């Protein structure tokens, strides 16, 4: 190849590379702008005696405090519980410590977060509410039921991060160190997480959402949309990173809780193929709370694919008959 032709080819390749970089940058900035707008939509920042807490509400009737899981915020809580507002339930979705606009305090323990849940109820003028903790939101929901039993009317735990005795068999193998390290890198960067969604979405569903991606292939369009929205709504991950890191630390140091002191209508849900292994701990937790109802599925993963309608119906049945603020 002649030198002049070689230079022309190299110039075209360089131009194509620059164009690709510009296009990727434009798409990333556009998607991030949408993510930031989506994360702020419908929420207010309330001043409570425990500090500022971000919250979003929908519906009227039986108050239900929705405590989101890792990678969430008020938006995640409203995404998986907002439909309950159509059934006479007042959905109160908050952002936990270190998520979105709720700051991270010096004490971010599950007990301190439970106390903050009560502060939020006080700020909203609610004497008593049901509480639903999903995934990493379960520890503070449990602590609220233990520490403030008079303020809680019912307890719901979805795929809960919870203690189980070492003698009880795990329902999933522990997360390999390299997978955890990769996840921590992803949650430290909006661009890395966004890029992973573009090039390896199924792997992100498998690792971050702890859900077999093949389940989505046979799921209904509504279920696929729900799970994909859950994944997309993790962005901006930079606004959730403090909370995510705190959740990771809490998950490594789970301790027994006085579950026998909980005397509330209780519903606990999990799936055997949840890659975070919540099935075994959910079963154990249900066995220790008098009268608790355990709903277990063989498949569904950490996002309970294919069972959302059943779970929502179970929640309505739990809350509808007599629970009032």
40 and 58 Cβ atoms separated by less than 8 Å: no
Q: Which two tokens stand for residue 320?
A: 């509808």
Residue ranges of domains in the chain, CATH in brackets: 40-172+241-319 (3.40.50.1820)
Helix (H, G, I), strand (E, B) or coil at 285: helix
Q: Which two tokens stand for residue 298?
A: 């063989």
**Rounded distance, CA 233 to CA 208, Å?**
13
Task: State residue 78 phi and psi, 5-degree precision.
Answer: -70, -30
Sheet of 152-158, strand order? 44-48, 51-58, 89-94, 62-67, 129-134, 152-158, 266-271, 293-297
Q: What is the pTM of this model?
A: 0.90
pLDDT class for 13, splitting at 50, 70, 90?
low
| Closest C-alpha to 139, from 99, 168, 108 | 108
Burial status of residue 217 (CB atoms within 10 A of its CB: 0-12, 13-18, 19 or more): exposed
Does residue 324 carry a pLDDT above 50?
no
CA distances for 7 relative to 1, 11, 12, 99, angstroms: 10, 6, 9, 51
- What's the pLDDT tens digit per position in 232-291? 999 999 999 999 989 988 888 899 999 999 999 999 999 999 999 999 999 999 999 999
Q: What angle do CA 307, 309, 312 make, to 5 degrees?
A: 105
Q: What is the mean pLDDT of residues 286-310?
A: 97
- What's the pLDDT tens digit per position in 30-44? 999 999 999 999 999
Q: Which two tokens stand for residue 246?
A: 């705190």
Q: Which two tokens stand for residue 304?
A: 């309970």
């Amino acid at each position: 190849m002649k030198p002049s032709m070689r230079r022309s080819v190299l110039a075209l390749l360089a131009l194509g590379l620059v164009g690709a970089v510009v296009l990727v940058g434009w798409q990333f900035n556009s998607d991030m702008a949408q993510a930031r707008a989506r994360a702020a939509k419908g929420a207010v920042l309330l001043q409570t005696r425990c500090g500022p807490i971000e919250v979003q509400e929908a519906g009227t009737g039986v108050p239900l405090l929705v405590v989101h899981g890792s990678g969430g915020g008020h938006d995640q809580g409203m995404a998986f519980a907002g439909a309950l507002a159509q059934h006479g339930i007042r959905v109160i979705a908050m952002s936990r410590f270190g998520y979105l606009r709720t700051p991270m305090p010096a004490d971010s323990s599950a007990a301190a977060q439970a106390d903050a849940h009560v502060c939020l109820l006080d700020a909203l003028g609610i004497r008593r509410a049901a509480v639903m903790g999903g995934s990493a939101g379960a520890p503070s929901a449990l602590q609220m039921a233990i520490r403030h039993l008079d303020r809680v009317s019912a307890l719901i735990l979805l795929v809960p991060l919870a203690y189980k005795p070492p003698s009880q068999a795990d329902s999933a193998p522990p997360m390999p160190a390299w997978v955890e390290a990769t996840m921590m890198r992803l949650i430290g960067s909006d661009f890395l997480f966004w890029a992973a969604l573009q090039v390896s979405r199924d792997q992100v569903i498998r690792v971050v959402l702890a859900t077999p991606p093949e389940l989505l292939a046979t799921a209904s369009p509504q279920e696929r949309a729900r799970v994909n929205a859950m994944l997309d709504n993790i962005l901006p991950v930079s606004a959730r990173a403090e909370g995510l890191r705190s959740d990771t630390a809490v998950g490594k140091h789970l301790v027994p809780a006085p579950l026998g002191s909980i005397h509330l209508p209780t519903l606990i849900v999990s799936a055997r193929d949840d890659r975070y292994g919540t099935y075994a701990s959910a079963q154990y937790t249900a066995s220790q709370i008098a009268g608790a109802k355990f709903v277990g599925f063989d498949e569904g993963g950490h996002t309970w694919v294919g069972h959302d309608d059943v779970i929502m119906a179970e929640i309505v049945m739990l809350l509808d008959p007599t629970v009032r603020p």
